[in-house]
């Protein structure tokens, strides 16, 4: 029998695609989607409104569906978190404690919780950033992710909690809207390319950041959760890497398929956040321990994003 899975924060960018993929693999009825807002797309399977900060609501759903595995995706992302640091800390930390404690009590068996490249800061080496290095994050989001990593490792060592985590880079997908991250320009640029053939970027042209196509991120997530327990050597969070590019480079790639697309630059407060993050990531531990390997490059991502958004975005809004 398949263990029942709960995805918390299922209506967001990652949740939308993760729920679809988990249901393909494990069956619609075995994957329960949950969020404080309705799904962005039609999903086939159970959906529940759950506020992760409400322990009673959470316990009720876990018990109702006899949940054994939790994917915790609810969080405020970097740019949104800077607007309300106290709330971001509350949500990003207490959501994690609520789930870790269910595992500590033996009610659930396994947890996936994503960390981020935001755990690194201005003093971290920016090129080929190692798994183990200086980590002095300068955003509340990064501080919450770094602290979360420490607690994950602690719960594993002290209470034997089976927690698995990756440090996602900026993620790019066409199935949902951007969710308030600094890397989300690399999603929005495709929407604006289709809708207006132009994009004003909030980062400067040469700001290189680590990025990844959503399908690669979903593969990494499911792969680390399926890996035999003894092979998961890192219980804080694994570096994973896809590709790295700047706004100028992604615009040049779009121009190859859409020659009249134009980009302009008006950096705002998100520039400072981006400046504090790595440019490229060393993911050799993930490769060695559980066989991580990405598939998508900038050319394939650009083609997939433009082709799919051309079909999906409302025709009346297009240029």
- Identified binder of ligand NAD from the candidate list 181, 210, 247, 278, rule CB under 6 A: 181
Member of 6, 11, 70, 185 binding ligand NAD (CB under 6 A):
11
Q: Report in angstroms how near the CB of residue 310 gets to ligand NAD at its nearest.
A: 22
Q: Can you tell me whether residue 138 is helix, strand or coil?
A: coil
CA angle 244, 14, 154 (to 5 degrees): 85
The residue count for binding ligand SER (CB under 6 A) is 10
Distance between CA atoms of residues 41 and 30, nearest Å: 19
**Per rule CB under 6 A, count of chain residues that contact ligand NAD:** 28
Binding region for ligand SER (CB under 6 A) out of 30-38, 86-94, 101-109, 115-123: 115-123
Do the Cβ atoms of 166 and 224 come closer than 8 Å?
Answer: yes
Tell the smallest beta-carbon distance from residue 183 to ligand SER (Å). 4
Query: Residue-wise over 220-250: b if at least 16 C-beta within 10 A, else e?
Result: bbbbbbeeeeeebebbbbbbbbbbbbbbbeb
Phi, psi of 170 (to 5 degrees): -65, 135
- Rule CB under 6 A: is residue 9 a binding residue for ligand NAD? yes
In the list ligand NAD, ligand SER, none, the entry touching 15 (Cβ below 5 to 8 angstroms by class) is ligand NAD
What distances in angstroms separate CA 249 from CA 49, 126, 177, 245, one per listed residue?
40, 18, 22, 6
Q: Does 183 bind ligand SER (CB under 6 A)?
A: yes
Our finding on whether 168 is near ligand NAD (CB under 6 A) is yes
Q: How many residues does the chain have?
A: 319
Binding status of residue 121 toward ligand SER by CB under 6 A:
no
Q: How far is the CB of 120 from ligand NAD (least distance, A)?
A: 12
Q: Can you state the percent helix, strand and coil of the chain, rounding each to 5? A: 45, 15, 35
CB 129 → ligand NAD: shortest distance, Å?
A: 14
- Assess whether 155 carries a catalytic annotation: no
Contact region for ligand NAD (CB under 6 A) — 20-28, 73-81, 232-240, 267-275?
Answer: 73-81
Q: Which stretch binds ligand NAD (CB under 6 A): 22-30, 67-75, 241-249, 294-302?
A: 67-75
Identify the CA nearest to 120 among candidates 130, 112, 111, 110. 130
Distance in angstroms (rounded) separating the CA atoms of residues 179 and 173: 11
Closest distance of CB 137 from ligand SER, Å: 11
Within 10 A of 273 (CB to CB), how many other CB atoms are there?
A: 22
| Region near ligand NAD per CB under 6 A, out of 99-107, 175-183, 241-249, 310-318 | 175-183
Q: Which residue in 250, 266, 246 sits closest to 258, CA to CA?
A: 250
Residue 142 touching ligand NAD (CB under 6 A): no
Instruction: Please tell me whether residue 78 binds ligand SER under the rule CB under 6 A.
Output: yes
Q: Does 114 bind ligand NAD (CB under 6 A)?
A: yes
Work out what residue 112 binds among ligand NAD, ligand SER, none; the CB cut-off runs from 5 to 8 Å by kind.
Answer: none
* Measured torsion, CA atoms of residues 276, 236, 13, 245, in degrees rounded to the nearest 10: 40
Note the residues at the interface with ligand SER (CB under 6 A).
Answer: 77-78, 116-118, 141, 170, 181-183
Residues with a known catalytic role: 141
């Amino acid at each position: 029998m398949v263990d029942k899975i709960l995805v918390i924060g299922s209506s967001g960018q990652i949740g939308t695609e993760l729920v679809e993929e988990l249901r393909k693999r494990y069956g619609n009825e075995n994957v329960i989607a949950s969020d404080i807002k309705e799904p962005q797309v039609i999903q086939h399977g159970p959906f529940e409104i759950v506020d992760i900060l409400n322990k009673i609501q959470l316990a009720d759903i876990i018990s109702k569906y006899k949940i054994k595995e939790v994917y915790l995706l609810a969080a405020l992302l970097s740019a949104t978190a800077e607007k309300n640091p106290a709330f971001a800390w509350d949500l990003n930390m207490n959501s994690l404690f609520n789930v870790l404690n269910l595992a500590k009590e033996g009610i659930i068996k396994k947890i996936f919780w994503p960390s981020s490249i935001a755990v690194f800061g201005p003093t971290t080496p920016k090129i080929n950033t190692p798994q183990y290095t200086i980590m002095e994050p300068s955003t509340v989001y990064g501080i919450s992710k770094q602290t979360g990593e420490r607690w994950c490792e602690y719960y594993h060592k002290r209470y034997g909690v089976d927690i698995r985590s990756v440090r996602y880079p900026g993620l790019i997908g066409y199935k949902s809207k951007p969710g308030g991250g600094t890397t989300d320009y690399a999603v929005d640029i495709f929407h604006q390319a289709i809708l207006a053939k132009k994009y004003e970027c909030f980062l400067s042209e040469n700001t290189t950041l680590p990025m990844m196509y959503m399908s690669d991120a979903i593969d990494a997530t499911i792969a680390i959760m399926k890996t035999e327990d003894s092979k998961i050597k890192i219980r804080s969070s694994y570096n994973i890497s896809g590709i790295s590019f700047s706004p100028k480079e992604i615009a040049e790639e779009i121009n190859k398929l859409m020659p009249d697309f134009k980009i302009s630059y008006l950096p705002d407060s998100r520039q400072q956040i981006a400046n504090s993050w790595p440019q490229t990531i060393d993911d050799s531990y993930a490769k060695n321990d559980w066989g991580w390997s990405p598939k998508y490059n900038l050319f394939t991502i650009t083609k997939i994003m433009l082709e799919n958004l051309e079909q999906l975005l409302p025709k009346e809004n297009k240029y």
